[in-house]
Chains A and B, each alone.
Chain A
Amino acid sequence: MDLADQIAQYMVSGLSTGAIYALIGIGFAIIYNSTEIINFAQGELVMLGGMFTLFFLETMKLPLPLSILLAVLATIASGVLFERLTIRPLKAPTPLSLIIITIGGSILIRGIAMLVWGKDTHALPAFSGSEPIAVGSATILPQHLWIFALTGIAIVSNKLFFQYTITGKAMRACAVNRRAAGLVGIDVRRMVLFSFAISGGLGSLAGIIVAPLTMTSYDVGIMLGLKGFCAAIIGGLSGGIGTVLGGLLLGTLESLGAGLISSGYKDAIAFVILLLILFIRPQGLFGRAQTERV
């Protein structure tokens, strides 16, 4: 395989991991835009997606599509519950207390997952076989196609929701001007709850579609969460195209870096990018952060 072929191959896997990061990153952005907090438990929702699927599939012996659907719903419920138990009861929330709470929450969720499912890594079956498909000189797994397709659908529906439905618009209004949103009759706390539900849904989807490729365990949320956070930061915490591009960029750079330089650098790349962005362009690479955040 010559260099061009190798690069093509790295691009394919990089873009598919990037799509995953994008989904997780959008979850960060949606919660950030409605609450101004970074939900550090986002990665745990991703982990729960994979683990719940495994539970429904192997413990409950349900078919895969149904297991996936139930896992997404269960994770959405977990996100909602998380908001209800941690964010909502606060009388006078400050950004710092909220952040500490989400970190505490993430540790708690991870701990519970470890008690319930143990420390082993688990594999989900690929959605439709694992026979590689040749695309030009590169090969692509059916699971990659699933990742591209489902991520695409999720991102487009998310965009349509925020752009065209009254609830989506109300959530954006809360992000733009919370006070004024209350004055037109929007129940801001309900919108915060919705944002946790949507992030839970997107996060769990990410965790589920990636699990057949990378395995899953109680602690996959740490790394995936940080990568998703990084994608969101590259995208200026926009819930839209910025974060999608951020995720894809991060995924490809990681994959190229790991393939062409050394796989030891894979995770370091994300953090170097994260720091560079925060120092040099905190509004994100594609930043129109002030006017259009969702």
Chain B
Amino acid sequence: MLKVKNINTYYGKVHALKNVTIHLAQGEIVALIGANGAGKTTILNTLSGVIPARTGSIQFLGEPVETLPPDRIVKIGISQVPEGRQVFKGMTVADNLELGAYLRFRSREPREQIRQDMRHMYELFPRLEERKKQMAGTLSGGEQQMLAIGRALMARPRLLLLDEPSMGLAPLVVQEIFGVIERLRRDEGTTILLVEQNARAALKMADRGYVLETGKVILEGAAAELLENPEVQRAYLGKEKKEIWER
């Protein structure tokens, strides 16, 4: 479905992605893990057309997409849930969701279909329905994350890019959100590229994974194998020290 080949992305002189090659098959959940500053967000932003790659190719459903601007990328079916949620804080929850369907409004899709998807989002995230008239900025971190996911889903993406959805959230909320991600794949066949620092949780859910270090892919493989890989365990899973909630 997605084939990324040898992309190099720069911030001015900073060489942030070095010959990154990854691929995703239809219906997969693929985890992208790596330390802070490894280039995970940069990969997603390159895919979304926010920071185009200087060299390399990106194919989505067989079409080259590496030169498309962000709005065209959304149009062809790739939506990103950005790092730090980035909801429209001064706007209501309902408006945020509606804006997720912006391009569908623009292409004159029947309103009823969009409304139906809104109801579906409220069903996925009942807490958003309770707060639909509230300003997004007044939501808790977990609710904002749900809203950011719901907003991206309103575009009906075929590929969903999730940037650290668990960041700064309590373990129970993380579970809830990961539950929704699994449900999306199961019920709707959405393909998901999941960026996480919470490597254990991400690999447990994913089919495959890539490990990124200073802009390079250093490891790739089935998620179960990566979980067993001693190097991954040492560097990203903190095998010796347990996560706080596991003690």
Q: A: which residues have CB within 8 A of B? A: 166, 169-170, 172-173, 176-177, 179-187, 290-293
Contact = CB atoms under 8 A, between A and B. Distances in A.
Interface of B: 48, 50, 69-71, 74-75, 79-80, 82, 86-91, 95, 98-100, 102-103, 105-106, 135, 137, 151-152, 155
Contacts of A292: 90
B91 A185 contact: no
A182 B50 contact: yes
Nearest to A179: B86
B70 A183 contact: yes
B91 A179 contact: no
A175 to B, nearest CB: 8
Contacts of B155: 184-185
Contacts of A170: 99, 102
Contacts of B102: 166, 170, 184-186
A261 B71 CA distance: 57
A290 B89 CA distance: 10
A173 B89 CA distance: 9
A185 B95 contact: no
Contacts of A291: 89-90, 135, 137
Contact of B74 (A169, A176, A185): A185
Question: From DSSP, what is the main secondary structure of chain A's interface residues?
Answer: helix
A187 B82 CA distance: 17
Given A184-B79, A184-B151, 15 more contacts: A166-B98, A169-B95, A169-B98, A169-B99, A172-B90, A172-B91, A176-B88, A176-B89, A179-B86, A180-B88, A183-B48, A185-B102, A291-B89, A291-B137, A293-B90
A228 B233 CA distance: 62
B48 A177 contact: no
Contact of B82 (A176, A180, A186, A290): A180
Best-buried of A173, A179, A181, A185 by chain B (most CB within 10 Å): A185
A176 B135 CA distance: 12
7 contacts: A169-B98, A169-B99, A184-B100, A185-B71, A185-B102, A186-B71, A186-B99
Nearest to B70: A182
A185 B109 CA distance: 15
Contacts of A182: 50, 70-71
A283 B80 CA distance: 33
